[in-house]
């Protein structure tokens, strides 16, 4: 892909929260990556599409899947538009009730992507149908894994670790499908750091989450290094309560940092709880890796 060079995303110390929690807390702002509305899906899909050779790009169809308000689908729709590819998104869940200028749905429409909404158990068969039809029409097809969950996606995060100017004691982030965590673990290992990479699961149980991470590590990192807590899921993917929203509001007050209730809000909540419960020791140098998901903040009120 012919894209602008990615500069390191912003990185700075959060003074107020550091003082309150009694740790040295820094934030890595991948939500502010200046392409395609930012977030970890930009890093992952950049690398996934870069590893693919597009011939006549206008005869290539990109197909991927995600939730109805998927950040990943938004990034693929925007990247496809710039490559001159057509894009077909297979989304599970209800079409957003939001107006089409609100959140990720605006970008699906603006880029001209085809969107099919299906039940979760029909994702696979729908993708197959879309792919077969396109191939019968003579198109090249690239199926991008949902969430950018793939070795290439993890590799993007392995390389992103080198943007940090120092080796923190802890690196805390929202863990969804596991690709970001696998990448961070590999990046830390390659640099020879002893940093503890602590995922906060936003959906999966600990055992299922660990399996998915392990599958992407390719033996590069010992499995006992996988640290994933499922204690701050608030019931599962997309679930949250008024406690979490109040916490998110507190962080806005203290640091002006935007968090969403689906991903980053849960991760920061988990971080604060782990510090207060002594699982992360006082005085530790902690990096909170903000993986994006701001669009979810903008539509979550409609749940």
Contact positions vs its own copies (CB under 8 A): 2, 4, 7, 10, 12-13, 15-16, 29, 32, 34-37, 78-79, 81-82, 98-103, 106-107, 109-112, 245, 248-249, 252-256, 258, 297-302
In the complex, the smallest distance separating the C-beta of residue 300 from its own copies, rounded to whole angstroms, is 5
CA 115 to chain centre: 21
Task: Please give the Cα distance from 35 to 178 (Å, whole number).
Answer: 23
In the complex, the smallest distance separating the C-beta of residue 265 from its own copies, rounded to whole angstroms, is 11
How do strand 60-67 and strand 86-92 relate by DSSP bridges? parallel
CA atoms 47, 52, 56, 59: torsion sign: negative
- CB nearer to its own copies: pick between 190 and 239: 239
Query: What number of other Cβ atoms are within 10 A of residue 137's Cβ?
Result: 10
In the complex, the smallest distance separating the C-beta of residue 262 from its own copies, rounded to whole angstroms, is 11
- CB nearer to its own copies: pick between 7 and 53: 7
DSSP state of 237: T
In the complex, the smallest distance separating the C-beta of residue 44 from its own copies, rounded to whole angstroms, is 16
- CB nearer to its own copies: pick between 107 and 263: 107
In the chain, at which residue ranges do the beta strands (DSSP E only) sit?
Answer: 11-13, 24-29, 60-67, 86-92, 114-118, 140-143, 170-175, 196-201, 227-229, 285-290
In the complex, the smallest distance separating the C-beta of residue 258 from its own copies, rounded to whole angstroms, is 7
Only one residue has tokens 């929202």, namely: 174
- CB nearer to its own copies: pick between 4 and 207: 4
- CB nearer to its own copies: pick between 100 and 283: 100
């Amino acid at each position: 892909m012919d894209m602008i060079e990615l500069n390191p995303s912003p990185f700075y110390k959060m003074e107020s929260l550091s003082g309150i929690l009694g740790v040295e807390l820094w934030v890595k702002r991948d939500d502010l990556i200046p392409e395609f509305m930012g977030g970890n899906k930009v890093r992952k899909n950049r690398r996934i599409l870069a590893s693919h050779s597009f011939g006549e790009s206008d005869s290539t169809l990109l197909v991927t899947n995600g939730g109805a308000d998927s950040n990943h689908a938004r990034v693929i729709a925007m990247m496809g538009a710039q490559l001159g590819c057509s894009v077909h998104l297979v989304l599970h869940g209800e079409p957003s009730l939001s107006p089409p200028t609100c959140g990720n749905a605006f970008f699906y429409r603006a880029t001209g992507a085809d969107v099919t909404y299906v039940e979760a158990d029909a994702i696979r068969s729908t993708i197959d149908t879309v792919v077969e039809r396109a191939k019968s029409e003579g198109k090249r097809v690239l199926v991008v894994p949902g969430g950018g969950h793939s070795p290439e996606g993890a590799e993007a995060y392995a390389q992103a670790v080198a943007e940090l100017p120092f080796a923190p004691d802890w690196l805390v982030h929202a863990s969804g499908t596991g690709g970001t965590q696998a990448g961070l673990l590999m990046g830390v290992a390659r640099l020879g750091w002893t940093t503890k990479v602590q995922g906060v699961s936003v959906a999966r149980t600990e055992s299922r989450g660990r399996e998915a991470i392990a599958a992407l590590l390719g033996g590069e990192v010992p499995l006992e290094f996988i640290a994933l807590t499922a204690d701050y899921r608030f019931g599962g993917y997309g679930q949250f309560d008024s406690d979490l929203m109040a916490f998110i509001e507190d962080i806005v007050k203290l640091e002006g940092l935007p968090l969403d209730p689906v991903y980053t809000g849960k991760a920061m909540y988990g971080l604060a709880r782990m510090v207060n419960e002594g699982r992360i020791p006082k005085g530790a140098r902690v990096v909170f890796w903000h993986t994006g998901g701001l669009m979810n903040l903008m539509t979550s009120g409609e749940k």
